[in-house]
């Protein structure tokens, strides 16, 4: 019998039949049938999920039930066996025993958790007790507005004067820091303040912590989507919690976002690939369908269909895999990554990334703004940040995939891609004085298999700023490579994560850090760390950004400085045995980051101003700082995030390198452990 949610993820063929008939039964009794089931087909080489959406697909559904007789595993929405979830059963420190009901309507989509309390009932949730006072509300208790009012009337001075507390962010949806106050006793130190702020940014779904809000700026007039949990923004939060031994929030985040992965998502009738993870999600409380006296909480994801510019969050799934691996390494609990639904989630992401297309390169082809820089910035094509995260996710996935029938093809595809990708990036993206000189002397229009200038780069492309900027010692990976185009800008996250994931060779990794040290005044200056260098100006800015007023030169994505990047800098410098680089940067940040109220970014060449439109109390600025501090205090913990190149990859790489015409003209046959 399927009785507990724990069973849901390991349903096997016999129980599947039972479950199917249960579904049909509940439908007959007028309950909602979960409208999406995902399961493996044994015949599929990549474990392709099969999708059934909405009860209107019943014929298909019946077909699946028949096929399921030979099926091994089934992936179901968490808790979909329960028609509602009862708030009194919530426990902050437990795996959520909730009901998630995919909604078929466009307006009311998302995961649902039903509050079965009738409006007007009094309810005491453990998470909603504030200073001994029960919050009384007819709706779900964890609403920001209710709690804000309570706090203001209970805590803040009532004489109408503004106090410092007015400037402090409030708990996000009714939940306070663990000690039940908005500030802990030891707010003297920046770290204590950061922890308080991080805790106040926690978002709860039906009583369980599931993520952190992007920014908790009490003075911001337009919230836009900064009140949502962004997948990429949560990564430093999640790591900070892991390093602090607070695992539940990370586990919940991993499992809830996984449920969103298989959601229906469309933009103007077009659906992106099924493995796509949302850019962000929001917890909404809405009246229950057909019963206005009740409310339910809904997880409402945004896959880019509401995002400014409608950009695709390609990095979300890659970060999700990286966090999943870090969770396993840090907690020692591999049961999460071994779950059938989690394994399927990994495979769906990989399938999407490894799908064949028209591309000639092993790098992942994406549209502009598909990562941290989520606006038009001329990073369409094969931007370094995506490649570094892609490589990292492949390495992490390889470690976590459990061998099973039918996964051989996937593993083979993954291994081949790892080798080809690392070769491509190390060879063609690398830039130092020697390479610039090589490009400067390139022959062009080489039609042949053994061309040295494979991408037909015209030497005139070398920008004048680069000639003086490149130090004699050090180098970096360029931002992007396309036919006849090299984007020579330095992008920090891509370079730092190439070190962390070992996409860059050991020598290259050291050279990147040498470069950072040599260019400290440009890349760090008054606040770490420049998102990219240099800024685009004038006509170039006008054409490439589309005259974006947010991305003016030396602001925001266009040469702005982002404190969150401190954590990636720290992991990279610890990995290379050079933590003093991160220490110096953290020390610099500490001088003003808390005084400036944890801005999202800084502007100007030397990062002297708080960014023009920067949010204050930006969560990933806070979490990035905390992760940097925690790792510097305990450098061995950086291993949860780093990957070392294994001998298979190293051998395959050296075989490829010796066959490269840039080194040895002419095509040579080499023995390769992987088919590339």
Residues that bind ligand GLC (CB under 6 A): 214, 230, 232-233, 372, 374
B/e letters for 64-76, b = 16+ CB within 10 Å, e = fewer, are bbeebeebbbbbb
Output the smallest distance, CB 412 to ligand GLC, in A. Answer: 34
Residue of 308, 456, 325, 301 whose CA lies nearest to 401: 325
Which C-beta is closer to ligand GLC: that of 230 or that of 533? 230
Nearer to ligand GLC among residue 36 and residue 232 (C-beta): 232
Least distance (Å) between residue 128 CB and ligand GLC: 27
The nearest distance, CB 528 to ligand GLC, in angstroms, is 17
Task: Confirm if 139 and 285 have CB atoms less than 8 A apart.
Answer: yes
CB atoms under 10 Å from CB of 355, counted, come to 11
Start-to-end Cα distance in the chain? 47
Which of 387, 376, 429 minimizes the C-alpha distance to 551?
Answer: 376
Provide the minimum distance between the beta carbon of 229 and ligand GLC in the complex, in angstroms, as a whole number. Answer: 10
Nearer to ligand GLC, 39 or 226 (CB): 226
Q: Which two tokens stand for residue 127?
A: 């998470």
Query: In what helix (H) or strand (E) does residue 617 lie, and over which residues does it extend?
Result: none
- Which neighbouring-strand residues pair with 478? 490
The C-alpha atoms of residue 420 and residue 453 are separated, in whole angstroms, by 18
Nearer to ligand GLC, 233 or 603 (CB): 233
Q: Say if CB 494 and CB 382 are below 8 A apart.
A: no
Tell the smallest beta-carbon distance from residue 638 to ligand GLC (Å): 23
Contact (CB, 8 A) for 536 and 545: yes
In sequence order, which residues have a C-beta less than 8 Å from that of residue 352 and are 6 or more positions away?
273, 274, 275, 276, 317
The SS3 call for residue 31 is coil
DSSP characters for 524-581?
Answer: TTTSS-BSEES---HHHHHHHHTS-STT-TTBTTBT-B-GGGHHHHHHHHHHTT-HHH
Q: How far is the CB of 221 from ligand GLC (least distance, A)?
A: 17
Minimum Å gap between C-beta 514 and ligand GLC is 28
In Å, what is the CA distance from 85 to each residue of 97, 101, 404, 648?
Answer: 7, 10, 34, 48
Cβ-based nearer residue to ligand GLC, 302 or 374: 374
Q: Smallest distance, Å, CB 374 to ligand GLC? A: 5
Shortest reach from residue 415's CB to ligand GLC, in Å: 31
- For 460-477, give one letter per residue: b (16+ CB within 10 A) or e: eebeeebeebbeeebbbb
Considering the complex, what minimum distance in angstroms separates the CB of residue 226 from ligand GLC? Answer: 6
Q: Residue 535 CB: number of other CB atoms within 10 A?
A: 23
Whole-number Cα distances in Å, 255 to 205, 239, 261, 321: 12, 16, 10, 12
Q: Measuring CA to CA, which residue among 372, 398, 397, 394 is closest to residue 383?
A: 372
Rounded CA-CA distance 599/619 in Å is: 9
Measured at the alpha carbon of residue 181, what is the angle toward residues 178 and 187, in degrees to the nearest 5?
A: 95
Toward ligand GLC, which CB reaches closer, 217 or 374? 374
- Of 608, 516, 518, the residue nearest 565 (C-alpha): 516
Min. distance of Cβ 377 from ligand GLC in angstroms?
10
Tallying the residues shown for the chain, one arrives at 676
C-beta of 407 vs 619, nearer to ligand GLC: 619
Minimum CB separation of residue 601 from ligand GLC in Å reads 9
Q: Which is nearer to ligand GLC, 372 or 503 (CB)?
A: 372
Nearer to ligand GLC, 372 or 413 (CB): 372
Which residue, 146 or 233, is less far from ligand GLC as judged by CB? 233
372 or 439: CB nearest ligand GLC: 372
Specify the residue, 217 or 432, whose C-beta has the smaller distance to ligand GLC: 217
């Amino acid at each position: 019998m399927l009785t507990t949610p724990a069973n849901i993820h390991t349903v096997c063929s016999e129980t599947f039949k039972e479950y199917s008939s249960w579904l049909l039964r509940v439908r007959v009794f007028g309950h909602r049938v979960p409208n999406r089931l995902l399961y493996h087909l044994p015949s599929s080489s990549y474990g392709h999920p099969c999708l059934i959406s909405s009860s209107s697909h019943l014929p298909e559904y019946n077909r699946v039930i028949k096929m399921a007789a030979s099926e091994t595993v089934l992936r179901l929405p968490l808790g979909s066996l329960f028609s509602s979830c009862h708030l009194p059963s919530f426990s902050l420190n437990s795996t959520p025993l909730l009901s998630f009901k995919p909604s078929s309507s466009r307006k009311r989509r998302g995961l649902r958790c039903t509050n079965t309390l009738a409006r007007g009932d009094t309810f005491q949730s453990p998470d909603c007790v504030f200073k001994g006072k029960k919050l009384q509300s007819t709706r779900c208790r964890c609403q920001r507005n209710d709690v804000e009012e309570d706090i203001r009337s209970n805590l803040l001075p009532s004489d109408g004067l503004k106090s410092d507390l007015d400037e402090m962010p409030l708990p996000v949806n009714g939940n306070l820091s663990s000690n039940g106050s908005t500030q802990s006793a030891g707010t003297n130190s920046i770290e204590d303040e950061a922890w308080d702020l991080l805790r106040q940014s926690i978002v709860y779904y039906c009583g369980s912590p599931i993520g952190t809000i992007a920014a908790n700026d009490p003075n911001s007039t337009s919230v836009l989507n900064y009140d949502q949990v962004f997948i990429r923004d949560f990564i430093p939060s999640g790591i900070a919690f892991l390093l602090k031994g607070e695992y539940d929030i990370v586990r919940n985040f991993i499992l809830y976002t996984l449920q969103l992965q298989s959601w229906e998502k469309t933009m103007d009738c077009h659906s992106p690939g099924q493995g796509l993870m949302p850019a962000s999600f929001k917890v909404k409380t809405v009246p229950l369908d057909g019963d206005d006296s009740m409310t339910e909480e809904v997880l409402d994801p945004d896959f880019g269909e509401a995002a400014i510019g409608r950009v695709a969050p390609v990095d979300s799934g890659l970060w999700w895999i990286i966090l999943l691996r870090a969770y396993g390494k840090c907690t020692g609990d591999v049961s999460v990554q071994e779950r059938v639904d989690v394994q399927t989630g990994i495979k769906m992401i990989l399938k999407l990334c490894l799908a064949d297309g028209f591309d000639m390169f092993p790098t992942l082809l994406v549209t502009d703004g598909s990562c941290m820089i989520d606006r038009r910035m001329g990073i369409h094509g094969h931007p370094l940040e995506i490649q570094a995260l892609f490589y990292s996710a492949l390495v992490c996935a390889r470690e976590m995939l459990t061998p099973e029938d039918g996964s051989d093809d996937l593993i083979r595809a993954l291994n081949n891609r790892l080798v080809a990708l690392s070769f491509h990036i190390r060879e063609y993206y690398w830039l130092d004085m020697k390479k610039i000189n090589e490009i400067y002397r390139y022959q062009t229009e080489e039609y042949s298999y053994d061309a040295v200038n494979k991408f037909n780069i015209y030497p005139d492309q070398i920008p004048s700023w680069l000639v003086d900027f490149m130090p004699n010692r050090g180098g970096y990976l360029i931002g992007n490579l396309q036919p006849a185009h090299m984007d020579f800008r330095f992008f920090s996250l891509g370079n730092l994560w190439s070190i962390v994931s070992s996409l860059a060779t050991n020598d290259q990794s050291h050279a990147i850090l040498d470069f950072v040290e040599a260019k400290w005044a440009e890349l760090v200056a008054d606040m770490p760390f420049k998102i990219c260098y240099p800024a685009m100006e004038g006509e170039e800015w006008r054409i490439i950004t589309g005259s974006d007023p947010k991305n003016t030169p030396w602001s925001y994505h266009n040469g702005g400085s982002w404190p969150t990047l401190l954590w990636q800098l720290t992991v990279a410098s610890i990995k290379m045995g050079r933590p003093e680089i991160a220490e110096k940067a953290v020390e610099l940040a500490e001088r003003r980051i808390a005084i400036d109220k944890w801005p999202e970014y800084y502007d100007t060449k030397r990062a002297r101003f708080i960014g023009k439109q920067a949010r204050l109390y930006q969560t990933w600025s806070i979490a990035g700082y905390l992760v940097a501090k925690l790792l510097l205090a305990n450098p061995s913990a950086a291993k949860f995030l780093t990957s070392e190149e294994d001998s298979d990859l190293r051998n395959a790489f050296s075989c490829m390198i010796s066959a490269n015409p840039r080194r040895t003209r002419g095509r040579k046959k080499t023995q390769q452990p992987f088919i590339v």
